[in-house]
């Protein structure tokens, strides 16, 4: 038997490759499909089917890519939507993959037509359930995509799906969700790599409810989501342009890069480390370090924008993958040779001030007037790690709509957990006309200010 759990960093997306005999199926594939093809071929399997658990919002699904390469059948959920590819799976429909049996199970809530897929073992007993975004380790799927007015209805659907369909499968059944910790498809997914329905019944806070009404009250909230989700929803109903049809983004000379920058719909994304960006960066660029690119590009770059990349000079293979997965296809190229080559042509660069945590704490305690602390961490982080007293809290994703809350007549010290997100915030502020911002390097473990102590909520 073949079983591969394939994770996409940043998006916290999980897909699965399962095979038996000579056949294999992929569940919720991402757009760049080489990993499925390589693993299947290496193990001697042919991918014959693709199962989608729901219409995805946070990444481009790779079903059509797989069909073109392998001829695999595509079975999609949310049959009420206007898909332009594949076939709609039916509730209760069964599939054979070698000696294995899969059975589709309608589990609405996250979306109206969400499907889970139950895998039966060789003995004919339920073995694993692939729940998509219905049930996660430590959380359940968000139910707000149909709007606040439908929260009670979607919450009721999800309750019935989880408590009347999924959990009764048996405590020993292995849970295989479509996302792990860090996904925006739920608010508090646990970092349990492997779990079972029995473990979730005991440990998942969202399942410790007495009735449907309590469940709906617990999960029925409107959550943030990046603007690009709307584009994903539309793209995942169509035959998205195949990656094979795109030319590889090219290395651009400083002159070519400069010319491309002149278009108003062009965005420069610098994926280098925060300290590299602080030392020298191109005017007008946005700092999104590579590991944060999948999580934050959708908040600050409009879909359809022309994108230029700045790296240390190397080909930005991983950055391009992240962008393609989230539907950012218009990548013009990257700065060949990096910032060094830029400087060698005599072109201007800019810098961002930084300060270590310990130095900032001393500065605050010596001068209590001339400072402004901007804390861009999430509410969950504030709750878990503590809040800096007297700091202004604006989550990074909400920063562009709240610039008017920030002063221009005093230094702004930007704080997150490490400095990576703070550099993104500093670059946004700089592009918005702020000139005196400082990125705080380091996290709360080194915070030791008496003027601005850490307030714990626990």
Judge whether 281 and 427 are in contact, CB under 8 Å.
Answer: yes
pLDDT score at 458:
58
> Of residues 176, 185, 361, 416, which has the active-site annotation?
416
Judge whether 277 and 301 are in contact, CB under 8 Å.
Answer: no
Contact partners, residue 196, CB within 8 Å, separation at least 6:
171, 172, 173, 174, 175
**Axis crossing angle, helix 151-159 with helix 212-219, rounded to the nearest 10:** 120
Final residue of a domain: which of 344, 379, 411? 344
pLDDT score at 444:
84
- In this structure, the answer to whether residues 290 and 423 fall within a common structural domain is no
Map residue 295 onto helix, strand or coil. helix
| Per-10-residue mean pLDDT, the chain, length 458 | 95 97 97 97 98 95 97 97 96 96 98 98 93 98 95 98 98 97 87 96 98 97 90 88 90 97 95 97 98 96 96 96 96 97 97 94 82 93 91 96 95 93 97 96 86 84
- In this structure, the answer to whether residues 288 and 407 fall within a common structural domain is no
pLDDT score at 439:
96
Range of the structural domain that residue 412 is part of: 353-455
Contact partners, residue 408, CB within 8 Å, separation at least 6:
433, 434, 435, 436
**Axis crossing angle, helix 34-43 with helix 63-70, rounded to the nearest 10:** 40
Judge whether 355 and 440 are in contact, CB under 8 Å.
Answer: yes
- Buried-exposed string 210-248: b where 16+ CB fall within 10 A, e elsewhere: eebeebbeebbeeeebbebbebbbebbbeebeebeeeee
Reply yes or no on whether 185 is catalytic: no
CA 399/CA 416 separation, integer angstroms: 13
- Buried-exposed string 367-387: b where 16+ CB fall within 10 A, e elsewhere: eeeebbbbbbbbeebbeebbb
Judge whether 79 and 88 are in contact, CB under 8 Å.
Answer: yes
pLDDT score at 370:
83
Look at residue 33 and tell me if it is in a domain: yes
- In this structure, the answer to whether residues 303 and 224 fall within a common structural domain is no
- In this structure, the answer to whether residues 115 and 153 fall within a common structural domain is yes
- In this structure, the answer to whether residues 337 and 398 fall within a common structural domain is no
Q: How far is CA 238 from CA 15, 62, 125, 130, in A?
A: 20, 11, 36, 24
Judge whether 363 and 428 are in contact, CB under 8 Å.
Answer: no
Q: Is the pTM of this model over 0.85?
A: yes
Look at residue 237 and tell me if it is in a domain: no
Look at residue 340 and tell me if it is in a domain: yes
Phi-psi region of 455 (alpha: psi -120 to 50; beta: other; left: phi over 0): beta
Q: What is the number of structural domains in the chain?
A: 3
Look at residue 241 and tell me if it is in a domain: no
Look at residue 319 and tell me if it is in a domain: yes
- In this structure, the answer to whether residues 77 and 181 fall within a common structural domain is yes
Transcribe 169-212 into DSSP letters: G-TTSEEEESB-TT-TTSS-----SSEEHHHHHHH-GGG--SSH
- Buried-exposed string 150-176: b where 16+ CB fall within 10 A, e elsewhere: ebebbbbbbbbbbbebbbebeeebebb
Q: How far is CA 49 from CA 17, 19, 24, 307, in A?
A: 10, 10, 7, 34
Final residue of a domain: which of 232, 254, 289? 232
Contact partners, residue 352, CB within 8 Å, separation at least 6:
277, 278, 281, 287, 423, 426, 427, 430, 437, 439
pLDDT score at 182:
86
What CATH code is carried by the domain that includes residue 390? Answer: 3.40.250.10
Look at residue 108 and tell me if it is in a domain: yes
């Amino acid at each position: 038997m073949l079983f591969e759990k394939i994770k996409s960093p940043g998006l916290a997306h999980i897909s699965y490759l399962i095979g038996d005999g000579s056949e294999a199926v992929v569940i919720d594939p991402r757009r760049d499909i080489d990993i499925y093809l390589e693993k299947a071929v290496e193990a001697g399997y042919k991918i014959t089917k693709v199962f989608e658990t729901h219409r995805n919002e946070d990444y481009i699904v790779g079903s059509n890519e797989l069909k073109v390469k392998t001829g695999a059948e595509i079975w999609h959920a949310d049959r009420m939507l206007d898909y332009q590819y594949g076939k709609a799976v039916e509730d209760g429909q069964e599939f054979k993959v070698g000696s294995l049996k899969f059975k589709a199970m309608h589990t609405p809530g996250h979306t109206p037509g969400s499907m889970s897929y139950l895998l039966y073992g060789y003995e004919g007993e339920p073995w694993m359930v692939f729940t998509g975004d219905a049930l996660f380790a430590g959380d359940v799927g968000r139910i707000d995509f149909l709007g606040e007015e439908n929260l009670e209805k979607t919450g009721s659907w999800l309750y019935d799906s989880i408590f009347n369909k999924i959990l009764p499968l048996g405590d020993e059944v292995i849970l295989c969700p479509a996302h792990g910790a860090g996904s925006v498809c739920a608010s508090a997914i646990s970092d349990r790599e492997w779990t079972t329905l029995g473990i979730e019944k005991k440990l998942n806070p969202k399942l410790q409810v007495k009735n449907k009404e309590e469940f709906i009250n617990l999960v029925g909230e409107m959550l943030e989501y990046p603007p690009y989700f709307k584009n994903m929803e539309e793209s995942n109903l169509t035959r998205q342009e195949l990656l094979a049809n795109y030319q590889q983004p090219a290395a651009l000379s400083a002159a070519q890069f400069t010319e491309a920058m002149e278009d108003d719909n062009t965005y420069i994304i610098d994926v280098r480390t925060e300290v590299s960006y602080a030392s020298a960066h191109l005017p007008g660029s946005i700092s999104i370090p590579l590991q944060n690119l999948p999580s934050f590009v959708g908040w600050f770059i409009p879909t359809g924008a022309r994108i230029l990349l700045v790296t240390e000079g190397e080909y930005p293979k991983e950055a391009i993958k992240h962008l393609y997965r989230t539907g950012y296809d218009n990548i013009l190229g990257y700065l060949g040779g990096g910032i060094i080559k830029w400087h060698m042509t005599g072109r201007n660069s800019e810098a961002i001030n930084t300060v270590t945590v310990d130095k900032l704490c001393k500065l605050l305690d010596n001068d209590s007037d001339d400072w402004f602390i901007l804390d861009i961490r999430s509410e969950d982080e504030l709750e878990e790690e503590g809040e800096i007293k007297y700091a202004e809290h604006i989550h990074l994703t909400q920063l562009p709509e709240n610039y008017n809350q920030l002063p221009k007549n005093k230094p702004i010290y930007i704080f997150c957990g490490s400095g990576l997100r703070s550099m993104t915030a500093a670059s946004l502020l700089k592009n918005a006309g702020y000139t005196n911002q400082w990125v705080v390097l380091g996290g709360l473990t080194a915070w030791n200010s008496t003027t601005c102590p850490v307030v714990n909520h626990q």
